[in-house]
Structures are given as C-alpha cells and as structure tokens.
Amino acid sequence: MFQFLRFNLIASISLIVTGCAVGPDFVSPTVPQTKSYTQEKMIKETTSAPGHGGQSQRFVVGQDIPAEWWRLFQCQPLNELIAQGLKNNPYLEAAKASLQQAQENLTAEIGSTFLPTVDAQLGAQRNKEAASTSEDSNSSSKPFNLYNASVQISYTFDFFGGGRRQIEALESEVEYQNFQLEAAYLALTANIVTTAINEASLRAQLQAMQDIISLQENQLKIIKSQVVLGGASQSDIYAQETLLAQTRAALPDIKHKLAQSRHALSVLVGAFPSESKLSQFTLEAIQLPLEVPVSIPSSLVRKRPDIRSSEALLHKA
C-alpha cells in the first residue's frame, strides 16, 4: 500500500512538472514571395571596358551561388589561402566547439527523458557472532561474509510532452549553433577574399604612384635643361619640385595600408604577421567571373545563416 501511494505521489509530481512546459507548435515565418530586388528591370549584361578584367559580365537570374564561391575568381593562391584559413582560424574552431557542446547537451537530454535511470549498489561485510554464554563456554563463533546488492530503476513519464518540448528547444539550439558556424565560415572566406583584393588594389596603386614619380622626375630634368637654355624660369623648377614632393608624400600612406592588409591576411589564416609567408596578390592574378549568379530573393532569405539563426532562437523561445 505504501509503495502504491509513493508511486502515485511521484507520478503526480511528474505531471505537474511536465505540464508546465507544454506550449504551441512552432510555425516557421512565411518567406516573402518576391522575385526582384528592385523595381527597375535588372540589366542582363554589363558594359565592357578596355584593360585587364574589362570584359562584360552576364547576370544569370535564378542560379544558386556555389558553396566555394571564391573559386569563380580562378586564383590558385587565393584558394590555397582560404584553405589555410579554414584549417587554422581560431574563431572557426570556437564556433565548432559551441556546436559540439550543443549536440552533447541534446544527447544528454534525450537520454534523461526517454531512458530510465538505473542506480545499482553492491556492498560486502565481514562479520562474526558474539561468543556464546551457554554452558559450552569453549565453543567459538566462526566469521562469515554478508553481501548486499540493490538496484533502483526510476522513469519519469512524459505525459504532456514537457520533456519533448525541452528536447525540441535543445534541437533549436543545435540549429542555432550550426547556423552560427556557417556564418563564421562565410564571414571568414569573405574577409579573406576582400582583404586579398584590397591588397591587389593597393599594390596596383603603389606601382602606379611609383610610375608617376618616375615621370615627374624626368619632367623635372627637362625643365632644368630648359632653364639652362632659357626656355623656362626658376619658378617652373620650384613648381615641378613641389608637385614631385606632393606625389612622394602619398607613398608612405599606401605602403602603410598595404602592410595592414598583409597583417590582416596573416591573422585571418591563423598565423603571426612576422612568421607568415603569404603570396602577393595582384589584380592580374584575379579573374572576374564572366557569369554572375543572381539568386531569387525568397531563396536567398532561406540561405542566409543570420536569418536562419534568428529563426532558430525564435523556435527555442
């Protein structure tokens, strides 16, 4: 009778606890059914221009962007740099650890909700009876062993789905951490590509500035020869020297920005700037894709990890 009452008490407590966790079913927000990013009709092809990378680009509407989108630039040093960053970047490793922690929490909750709890105990004692007080006082007691084993099994009945709701929340947490990892992956690759292109641009600016300085130096020599021959005045020399000095003053800033880009690339791939051996990127080594994929807005919404992670948090709440 006592065991029956004890079982009823435990069952009643379980009903109260699990009943509090019941909530409505989650419904994913509706995706906007729009097929255009702007009111104006999108052009199908860009205008070509002379020089490297000046070919016209064609937009392909409805085509999905590939997962390894940076390969569209056809730059092998860039591909190798991204592979190094995906392997060594500490922020990506931290995101992977958070995802693994969420998965382990989900596994533990599933085990505690759907599997019974077993508690086993085993004990052993060495005893000896007290000496007999009867007439046979010479008799002696012998020691003996006493073993005791007990097993307790408990299980919480999830009548109203409180445990299942908790598992559903932890599944949403796993989804959230998975999308956070995807966001870190996209941010890392995008930062590496952007920094590499910025380095190539700065390197081209530095080369162009050095060519301008060389031309201005030659121009200064010509003006000095003209002064000797009486074809120019001393003020013309001063004006050209001022222009040359102004051009030279722009070099340190470009070199400083170029060094910053190199250091940023080192950090992104998980290396120290003083020890990294990175390839030098130039605009000539980076090919612009001739076909640019343009995804549908509604499809893009379902692929953005920041939107999906926010949806996972809403599901969890």
Tens of pLDDT along 207-260? Answer: 999 999 999 999 999 999 999 988 889 999 999 999 999 999 999 999 999 999
* Least confident stretch, 19-23, 173-177, 207-211: 19-23
Residue found under tokens 């692929």 = 303
- Secondary structure (DSSP) of 163-177: HHHHHHHHHHHHHHH
* Least confident stretch, 104-113, 123-132, 252-261: 123-132
Residue 123, pLDDT > 70, answer yes
Q: Which pTM does this prediction carry?
A: 0.74
Strand partners, 148: 123
For residues 293 and 57, the answer to whether their CB atoms sit within 8 Å is: no
Q: How confident is the model at residue 297 (pLDDT cuts 50, 70, 90)?
A: confident
How many residues are listed for the chain in this entry? 317
Handedness of CA 271, 275, 277, 281 (dihedral sign): positive
Which of 201, 206, 197, 184 shows the shortest CA–CA distance to 81?
197
The 3-state DSSP class for residue 69 equals: helix
Handedness of CA 58, 59, 64, 70 (dihedral sign): positive
For residue 165, what are the CA distances in angstroms to 64, 77, 158, 210, 247?
A: 35, 49, 10, 67, 68
Q: Which two tokens stand for residue 189?
A: 């690759």
For residues 176 and 313, the answer to whether their CB atoms sit within 8 Å is: yes
